[in-house]
Amino acid sequence: MTMIRLPTADPQGTVLGAAPDLAESACAYRATGGYDGATAPDELLAHLAASGLRGRGGAGFPAAVKLRSVRDPGGAPVVVANGEEGEPGSVKDRWLLRARPHLVLDGLARTAAITGAVRGFVYLSDPVAAGSVRRALLEHPPPLPVEVVETDHTYVAGEETAVVRRIDGGPALPTAKPPRPFEQGVGGAPTLVSNVETLARIALTAARPDLGRAIALTTLVTLSGDRTTPLLTEVPYGIPLRALAAELGIPDATGALMGGLFGGLVGTDALDLPLEPGALTAAGTALGCGAIRFLSPGSCPVATAADAAAHLAAASARQCGVCVSGTGAVGNALRALAAGTAGPDTADSLHRWSQGLPGRGACGLLDASAGIAGSLLRAFPRLARSHLAAPCPLCAAAPPDGRRLTVTVPQVAVGTTSPAPASPTTPISPTTPVSPTALPLPALKGTP
């Protein structure tokens, strides 16, 4: 079961809050300043622009710019809290809807006030989260009609055009762009599709505008790896990836699979990079949804790449022929590479696909598959080609299985009150089954 670890003993301005293992009631949320109307919509928008808050759904688009793009055309916009979490290594959105639904609904109501929206939706596939959100709506009815829309859990169901299509009664499949949802979304209206963590940070900024910059420069991350207990925590931008690996219990990590599946593989040298979207993008990888799977010395990056490609091939929506054939080809090639049965031209084929496939599908799934292939060859070129000469014992011990990358959601108990903030404790092993604790984090590097 995934553990939760508080970054500090002070929960002020954090998404994790004081009791991340307990579902927060409306009463407890209001006691922390939630649902307070002191910050007016225009004032909040100015705070968001000044703080530089970016979306946490993966693309990292500036939140204030996105809000204005829906508000400025006028009309009757729609706002959507997107909690559909397709990346197998990420749990933050489902945990957030289970544990702090009021924080998300508060953020949704505030974006409605900024944009002038007249309808709202909470979009998800997790039945436990759906129940939590419905209870929260009964506890504290929002200032606009809000509907919970459930969908089947798939990799592409959270893509913004798939969200709109499903809410409008169709399948949760991406559509061609343009138009984008901010131009023409639910029911043809300008639509803000916002990740639930983004909405949570908007609500936090409304309650504590003095902490706006810190709120914008902190993010939830899901950390996982071989033979370690996954960890959900909240960290500031700028912390080195290597420090996060040590926090997970893999201080000697040899690389990582970044951004869920979208950031690709990185090698040991990249672990000195700061956890900061711009720095990671410049280095050829991505933070994405904040899911990072670290590689231990006893694991093989080729096997991890094969796992990722297998997951993506199985997740294809099968509505684009190039995606079906492309993800299948990459998956088969990496499976053969891991098994030691690849042909001599396999590495060259992977390189060619990594260059030619991106941008050819309706969504980012094909791009992610191509990125896995290309990143393996960039980060571990000699290792990848050594698999052409002889079978790898590490790969043989763990045949490709896309399900291996899946991380479970932390347990959240349903309660009516939240306990006092946790006190500082001595660092513990991430394999120790305990309640959430506050742990000191290493000094920051490269904080913007």
pLDDT tens digits for 15-34?
Answer: 999 999 999 999 999 999 99
Name the pairing type of β-strands 291-295 and 119-124: unpaired
- pLDDT band of residue 57 (cuts 50, 70, 90) is confident
**Assigned token pair, 272:** 């000195």
Please name the residue that has the structure tokens 């990848």: 384
Mean pLDDT of 316-337: 89
Question: So what's the pLDDT on residue 9?
Answer: 65
- CA proximity to 186, closest of 145, 153, 156, 154: 145
Domain ranges of the chain: 16-216, 221-405
- pLDDT band of residue 448 (cuts 50, 70, 90) is very low
What is the rounded radius of gyration, in angstroms, for the C-alpha atoms of the chain?
21
**Whole-angstrom distance between the N-terminal and C-terminal Cα of the chain?**
33
- CA proximity to 77, closest of 203, 167, 186: 186
Burial track 371-396 (b if 16+ CB lie within 10 A, e otherwise): bbbbbbbbbbeebbeebbeeebeebe
Q: Give the separation between CA 306 and CA 425, rounded to whole angstroms.
A: 39
Domain 16-216 belongs to what topology?
Answer: Rossmann fold (3.40.50)
Mean pLDDT of 381-404: 84
Residue 312 contacts residue 372 (beta carbons within 8 Å): yes
**434/54: higher pLDDT:** 54
Which pTM value belongs to this model?
A: 0.90
Mean pLDDT of 128-134: 97
Q: Give the separation between CA 150 and CA 131, rounded to whole angstroms.
A: 11
Mean pLDDT of 327-348: 91
Asked whether the predicted pLDDT for residue 273 surpasses 90, the reply is: yes
Output the average pLDDT for the chain.
88
Asked whether the predicted pLDDT for residue 67 surpasses 80, the reply is: yes
The tens digit of pLDDT for each residue in 210-236 reads: 999 999 999 999 999 988 999 999 999
Written as one string, the DSSP assignment of 213-263 is: HHHHTEEEEEEEETTS--EEEEEETT-BHHHHHHHHT-TT--EEEETTTTS
- Highest-scoring range by mean pLDDT, 11-15, 71-75, 200-204, 396-400: 200-204
Residue 146 contacts residue 111 (beta carbons within 8 Å): no
pLDDT over 70, % of the chain = 92
| DSSP, res 22 | E
The tens digit of pLDDT for each residue in 148-175 reads: 999 999 988 999 999 999 999 999 999 8
Question: So what's the pLDDT on residue 439?
Answer: 37
Q: Which residues make Cβ contacts (< 8 Å) with residue 389, sequence separation at least 6?
A: none
Residue 441 contacts residue 27 (beta carbons within 8 Å): no
- Peptide linkage before 209 cis (omega within 30 of 0): no
Question: So what's the pLDDT on residue 305?
Answer: 95
- Alpha carbon distances (Å) from 51 to 44, 420, 448: 10, 29, 12
Neighbours of 49 (CB within 10 A): 16
Residue 135: burial class (beta carbons within 10 Å; 0-12, 13-18, 19+): middle
| DSSP, res 444 | P
Q: Give the separation between CA 263 and CA 160, rounded to whole angstroms.
A: 19
The listed CATH number (3.40.50.11540, 3.30.420.40, 1.10.40.50, 3.10.20.600) that belongs to domain 221-405: 3.10.20.600
